[in-house]
Structure 1
Amino acid sequence: MKTTFLFGVAALFAILVISCKQGESPQEEAALSEKTSADESMKNVLSSNAAVQNPDDKRKFIQKADIKFKVKNVAQSTYKIENAVNKFGGIVTNTDLQSHLTGKKQTKISADSTLQTIKYSVENNIILRIPNTKLDTVIKSIAKEIDYLDFRVIKADDVSLQLLAADLSQQRLSDHTKRLQNDIDQKGKKLNDIADAENDVLNKKQQSENAKIQNLAMRDQIAYSTITLAIYQNETIKQELVAIEKDNQAYGNFGLEILDGLKTGWSILASIIAFVVQLWSIILLALLGIFIYRKFLKSVKPV
């Protein structure tokens, strides 16, 4: 009879364990599926036609993206973003990783130690230059790090006519400078006339060089898109024990011993309570077994 009772208790315990495992498995699968779906959704949110450059399009665009989002860990996400940028041929032109102290508290827990609690936030402002054909790819890669999206702004300005105007202006100034130089060489007679003409040529050359620089700067903005990122994480709390000089006059040796004894006793009691709570299932089964034994099995007389 005792063997039957023990077998029944063991079977009941096994059923409870199997049920718990089966109950957790669908939740884990659902959480994994939900995370995958969220990642794909975030990629779609960040993606934009403004970030896609058609290689067959004759027009020229200056593309810019401004994105702000929260991440799990700013430092780790920064490294991953920088690696993705390097992978696709881009460069990081600026990164400003900073921690800002939001709160500080010191709690004296004994005569020779203090618990220091620090609250701080971490953020980073990053500027990236990406080949225009890889802008959408890099943005989708960055989306993997997003925990919460504040905003994303993507602009594509058509500068085809501005680029054409810059080319024509540069060519016009260059031709005019050449003509002035030829006139000086062929027709210049008086020293004063030559000096004035040379000054005019110098001014035209400066204008031509400025136009060339502006033209090159515009072409650089077309070739490399700019991404400005502002990333941050949740407020972090750090606690650390700091040793301090003993202050026996404030507490007294006897009072300090009593205080330490109370704290040690409470710590032991809390550990015992936590251990008992973790064994609730075994205690429940034991109580159930005692109840079944007293209710049914004890009253059965052996034949």
Structure 2
Amino acid sequence: MKTTHIRLTIATALLLGIYSCKKGEATASDYEMSTSADSAYVNVSDSVSSAATMSVKDKQFIKTADVNMEVKDVYDATISIEKSAQELGGFVTNSNLQSRVISEDTYNTSDEEAMLVKKYQTENTMQVRFPSSRLGELLTLINDKKLFLNSRIINAEDITSNIKYAELEGKRIKKTGENISELKTTKDKVKMSDENMSENNSQQLANLNVTDNLKYSTVDIYIKEPKLRIAEIAVINSKNIDNKYKFNFFYSAKNAFVEGYYLIQKLIVGLIMIWPILLICGLIFYFYRKNQSKNKIQQPNQENPAS
């Protein structure tokens, strides 16, 4: 039972408004007022799904839509949709227009000039919010911009029973608060009061969200151009510039002479650093040559002993 109660409480926090006196809590009539205020505007052509203009007595609907289509010019369509949403009392929450580059090549046209050719496709992902009672009107305006409709999804979620259940939960929270106030002041009472107030605050936040979603519909729009566009951009012939400065003989020869001079200096300094080794090698060589000379003198004397 405790688990069921927790699940019901979470569901309530997501779908309802708080029902409590002295704190401006909403009742079912509040939700009805939020969606019926602009009901006079609902007058849309038959080309729009009935879900967009859903209006049933004693029923409350949260309406959303998702449109994916191809248009002649993404930029012009974006400006038109944003303007239409504003005229209908709505606003754009996100607009991500970008050009996706398919290929990019550079063609040299002279020694100094070249042409950069880009093949790209423009697309935009938008999110628009506007009065739910005028969802059909906006979808009709968007439909007029299409070349090809890939998909259109319209949702009308009935939350009437959730609102009724929210009222009962609001009464329960109010009653719980009254019961807690009658208890003696203890640590447990403070903890229960804090938890009850936290649940109350969560429901007030949920109330604002649900009321807003009932009054304003959310439409996600993805538009793109069916064919690739080509951009020709004049640039400098970088390859010719690279060849022009790739190698300079006189500059390289001068640097080679200077580097050679520094190399000789480094060799001399290196020889100076190893002078003890050179001295030892020199002495060894000297005594070796001296010993060789003595051997040559003794050999002729050994060959002529009689003389």
Normalized against structure 2, the TM-score is what? 0.61
Q: How many residues align?
A: 199
The alignment's C-alpha RMSD in Å is 2.2
Amino acid at match of 2:231: K
1:208 equivalent to 2:200? Answer yes
- Residue 227 (structure 1) aligns with: 219
Contact 1:114-1:244 at 8 Å conserved across structures? yes
Q: Secondary structure at the match of 2:109?
A: strand
Change in 2 beyond 3 A, CA 1:87/1:161? same
Contact 1:67-1:152 at 8 Å conserved across structures? yes
Change in 2 beyond 3 A, CA 1:219/1:238? same
Q: Secondary structure at the match of 2:144?
A: helix
- Residue 123 (structure 1) aligns with: 123
Q: Distance in 1 between the 2:162 and 2:87 partners? A: 32
Amino acid at match of 2:213: Q
Change in 2 beyond 3 A, CA 1:111/1:198? same
Contact 2:65-2:155 at 8 Å conserved across structures? yes
Q: Secondary structure at the match of 1:64?
A: strand
- Residue 93 (structure 2) aligns with: 93
Q: Which runs of 5+ in 1 are unaligned?
A: 1-42, 252-303
Q: Distance in 2 between the 1:100 and 1:51 partners? A: 32
* 1:18-29 matched pairs, under 5 angstroms: none
Change in 2 beyond 3 A, CA 1:213/1:111? same
Q: Distance in 1 between the 2:96 and 2:189 partners? A: 51
Normalized against structure 1, the TM-score is what? 0.61
Measured against aligned partners, the alpha-carbon deviations of 1:178-228 in whole angstroms (never above 9, x if no partner) come to 3212x14xxx2xxxx612101111101111221222233122211111111
Q: Which runs of 5+ in 2 are unaligned?
A: 1-44, 245-307
Amino acid at match of 1:173: I
Measured against aligned partners, the alpha-carbon deviations of 1:68-118 in whole angstroms (never above 9, x if no partner) come to 011111111111101100111111111111121111001112211111101
Q: Distance in 1 between the 2:91 and 2:83 partners? A: 10
Shift of 1:44: 5.2
Percent of aligned pairs with the same amino acid: 25
Q: Secondary structure at the match of 1:89?
A: coil
Which structure: greater helix fraction? 1
Q: Secondary structure at the match of 2:59?
A: coil
Task: Name which one, 1 or 2, has greater alpha-carbon Rg.
Answer: 2
